[in-house]
Chain A
């Protein structure tokens, strides 16, 4: 056997509070497209960011062509021929394509403090030809589509005698034809002997383009197999691991009774198109779909965070007009954002202050003074009911774990008498143990008669938790499935049903 192009051995990485990677392995051959898969938080991106010099490893070693190397910076990685295309593209949108590609290498050869735009434009043109991209080098990157921006990133990587290209979920925002173009370029790079690491969530793409697949789970290496030697189901089983979703099983089958929320023909821009569905009392309604399918936008529209263009919303049979989140809250709708830290919590305030935040008027005594005895009693009640782990209710929520922060937000909405709760990616960025608790809590809430909309990108989670599953694609609802008949495949079928 020849020496592989890249070999990562026993890589460890620790972030404050989390062991992100432990003893992880990875191998990449020349001219290979190697899929790296795993659930959110499995450590795929972290492992690759270590290879690309964005993060430093805490332990383990990296070999290129069998020689040990240290990658301390992105610059060093580039010198070694390693380029990474991040999930959130790293471009300067006010600069032109050529200026982006040659950032740091734009000096004129004759006068070193001048930029040589003519040279970099010409070289960019050559790079674009290599990847069959018809684009002017002088176009501002901010004016390009995501797909074109990605191509610019690939051209940038090519400009550094690239040997290894890491792509972190490049197709998540692309249309089918754009994906075809991307794959064509990837195959060409492969012909030139470049090794490509392809991080993805999409099973069907692995079969289309990859040679081997490595699975990671919870910061551990699980296994590497040639695509021909492993089935999709086996990969998913490796990714999911049995134990994680055991507790996620919903408690019995809910009988349909009373419709609590009904939306009819909601429209807002391209992300919410003609959306209609109903939500029953005590139901967990899963919302599945690819990134950008319009699930979050739908939730925000129902919650009044973004104004509706058209459509009707009925709460318990009554037609309501929701123009602002406070209207939604008045109807008993609570929204738990996927970005807890930005939209859900005041991080520097205490558990108590966060819990009572939306219900303050209820706790006012004379002259608008807050009755702290009552707020403390109410907070304590919800901390106990939700089993929130916090030393005291005066602890700043910043110091709580992700799962417990989530519980503080749930407590906030319950205290506000919300019985329709919209959870947007409730387990994102939460470790496995806390996930289980969130699942248990969601089941309990549903049993108590609360109605829950759960948006999630993790299919196993959707399948285990939901009574019914709404699948969206490009802003439209493409399917509503009963949990008993839904599988990962049927969901993916509807999630990619582009019109």
Chain B
């Protein structure tokens, strides 16, 4: 029994080990890799994908998927831009509206999945197209700049003990998410639904309502990612978004989340997100062309999931 209990932690250790291994390899290969600016760069680069991955971890654990997270993230940026730059609302209000916009998209995804019984793949594919279009409509197809709002740029850049605020927001999101997942009833029902939805329903739990809640929660995280993204770029880039869902899903899966539901944890997802950035960053420092970086990331995703399948077979 004890051996089995450890397999879950084993996988997180395995992922963590691969991350350390990658860092050592790159540190040896290039003296620039462990420089302070580069480490900060890696942290900053991970923050957006990391927050997205944290959000989708909840949804993946229920056995669902969200393809709209990239464009929903941008929807958050654009809504914040519309409020702050077009309508001159105060920055905190604009930020709140951006995050809420993400949450609302998640709510609609949840309704489509739980109430209308659409497959999550289709429901969120539709949401992806809708938000992609809305982003262009709201922004007039042009980037919305926060030119005369230097404070907005500080959301991602403001140094807290030398670490950019964007990174702090990422870690804070991860801590909150880990707490929700392991200590609250939201987390408990997330695992329960992903493990056996019918059994959960028969235990007298309103699984539909909880699923809507979980998709909304994911949406809020995507909204937060949108704000950090816009702050980093000093603008809301309406065409941004597609492609981000793949990195976020990959991070969660490398970290041990199972697309069939019931499994996954925030620590693993964070490690997964870092593996992807470290790989990209290190390969770039070693002057590996970007095209090849993608190929290698793809191989990593496939092999990490295959390793997981092998591990299960051994059990």
Q: Which residues of A contact B188 (CB under 8 A)?
A: 95, 99, 103, 106, 115
B287 at interface by CB-CB < 8 Å: no
B204 in contact with A74 (CB, 8 Å): yes
Complex-state Cα separation, A342 to B211, whole angstroms: 28
Interface assignment of B192: CB less than 8 Å from any CB of chain A:
yes
Residue of B nearest to A90 (CB): B199
Give every chain B residue within 8 A of A94 (Cβ-Cβ): 191, 194-195, 262-263
- Judging by beta carbons under 8 Å apart, are A92 and B262 in contact? yes
Shortest distance between the CB of A74 and any CB in chain B (Å): 5
Cβ-defined partner of B191 (8 Å) among A90, A92, A104: A92
Does A498 reach chain B (CB closer than 8 Å)? no
Residues of B249-265 contacting chain A, CB below 8 A: 262-263
Instruction: List the A side residues contacting B184 at CB < 8 Å.
Output: 113-115
A113 CA / B192 CA spacing, docked (Å): 16
- B77 CB to closest chain A CB (Å) equals 30
Judging by beta carbons under 8 Å apart, are B262 and A103 in contact? no
Contact A103 B200 (CB under 8 A): yes
Indicate whether A493 reaches chain B with its CB closer than 8 angstroms. Answer: no
Nearest CB on A from B208, distance (A): 14
Question: Which B177-194 residues have C-beta < 8 A from chain A?
Answer: 183-188, 191-192, 194
Mask for B195-208, Cβ within 8 A of A = 1, else 0? 11011101111000
Q: How long is the Cα–Cα vector from A113 to B179 in the complex, in angstroms?
A: 11
What is the bound-complex CA distance between A295 and B185, given in angstroms? 43
Given contacts A113-B186, A140-B5, A143-B4, contact A95 B192 (CB under 8 A): yes
- Bitwise, B279-306 to A at CB < 8 A (1) or not (0) is 0000000000000000000000000000
Q: Do A78 and B262 touch across chains, with their CB atoms under 8 A apart?
A: no
Chain B interface size, as a band, is 20 to 34
Enumerate chain B residues within 8 angstroms of A91, measured Cβ to Cβ.
196, 199
Report if B1 contacts A (CB, 8 A). Answer: yes
Q: Is A61 among interface residues, defined by CB-CB distance under 8 A?
A: no
Q: Please report the total number of A residues contacting B with Cβ < 8 Å.
A: 23
Q: Does A54 contact B (CB under 8 A)?
A: yes
Chain A CB within 10 A, most for which of B186, B194, B202:
B202
Cβ–Cβ < 8 Å partners of B186 in chain A: 113
Chain B positions 80 through 118: 1 when the CB is less than 8 Å from some CB of chain A, otherwise 0: 000000000000000000000000000000000000000
The residue of chain B having its C-beta at the shortest distance from the C-beta of A143 within the complex is B4
Q: Is there contact, CB below 8 Å, between B263 and A104?
A: no
Q: A91-B199, A113-B186, A140-B5 are in contact. Are A103 and B205 (CB under 8 A)?
A: yes
Query: A139 interface residue, CB < 8 Å from B?
Result: yes
- Please measure, in the bound complex, the distance between the C-alpha atom of A143 and the C-alpha atom of B202, giving whole angstroms: 22
For A84-99 the 0/1 string (1 means CB < 8 A from B) is 0000001111110001
Q: Type the 1/0 row for A127-144, where 1 means its CB is closer than 8 Å to any CB of B.
A: 000000000100110010
A90 — which chain B residues lie within 8 A by C-beta? 196, 198-199, 202-203
Is the CB of A107 closer than 8 A to any CB of chain B?
A: yes
Which chain A residues (282-311) contact chain B, with CB distance < 8 Å? none
Q: Determine if A93 and B1 form an interchain contact, defined as CB atoms under 8 angstroms apart.
A: no
Interface flag for A73 (CB, 8 Å): yes
CB A104 to nearest CB in B, in angstroms, measures 5
Q: Once bound together, how far apart are the Cα atoms of A114 and B205, in whole Å?
A: 16
Contact A115 B185 (CB under 8 A): yes
Interface residues of A in 59-101 (CB under 8 A from B): 73-75, 78, 90-95, 99
A83 CB to closest chain B CB (Å) equals 11
CB neighbours of B200 from chain A (8 A): 92, 103
Q: Which of B1, B185, B191, B202 contacts A95 (CB 8 A)?
A: B191
Assess A104 versus B205: contact at CB under 8 Å? Given A91-B196, A95-B191: yes
Q: Tell me the B210-258 residues at the A interface (CB within 8 Å).
A: none
Bound Cα distance from A99 to B205, whole angstroms:
13
Q: Which residues of chain A are near B5, meaning CB under 8 Å?
A: 139-140, 143
Q: Whole-angstrom distance from the CB of B198 to the nearest CB of chain A?
A: 7
Most buried by B among A92, A95, A136: A92
Bound CA span A75–B188, Å? 19
Residues of chain B contacted by A104 (CB below 8 angstroms): 203-205
Tell me the nearest residue of chain A to B204, going by C-beta: A75
Find out whether the CB atom of A95 lies under 8 angstroms from the CB atom of B195: yes
Which residues of chain B are near A113, meaning CB under 8 Å? Answer: 184-186
Once the chains are docked, how many angstroms separate the CA of A155 from the CA of B192?
18
Which residue of A has the minimal Cβ distance to B194? A94
Q: Inside 8 A of B199's CB, which chain A residues have their CB?
A: 90-92
Closest to B198 in A: A90
A402 to B195 CA separation, bound complex (whole angstroms): 31
Q: How far apart sit A139 and B1, CA to CA, in the bound complex (Å)?
A: 8
Quick one: CB contact mask for B1-40 with A, threshold 8 Å, 1 for yes? Answer: 1001100000000000000000000000000000000000
What is the interface of chain B, defined by CB distance below 8 A to chain A? Answer: 1, 4-5, 183-188, 191-192, 194-196, 198-200, 202-205, 262-263
- What are 16 A-B contacts with C-beta separation under 8 Å? A54-B202, A73-B204, A74-B203, A78-B204, A90-B202, A92-B262, A93-B262, A94-B191, A94-B194, A103-B205, A104-B203, A106-B185, A113-B184, A136-B1, A140-B5, A143-B5
User: Which 3 A-B pairs give the minimum distances between C-beta atoms?
Assistant: A75-B204, A92-B195, A94-B262
Task: List chain A positions with a Cβ less than 8 A from chain B.
Answer: 54, 73-75, 78, 90-95, 99, 103-104, 106-107, 113-115, 136, 139-140, 143
20 extra interchain contacts, Cβ-Cβ under 8 A, other than A95-B195, A140-B4?
Answer: A54-B202, A75-B204, A92-B195, A92-B199, A92-B262, A93-B196, A94-B195, A94-B263, A95-B191, A99-B188, A103-B192, A103-B200, A103-B205, A104-B203, A106-B185, A106-B188, A114-B183, A115-B184, A115-B188, A143-B5
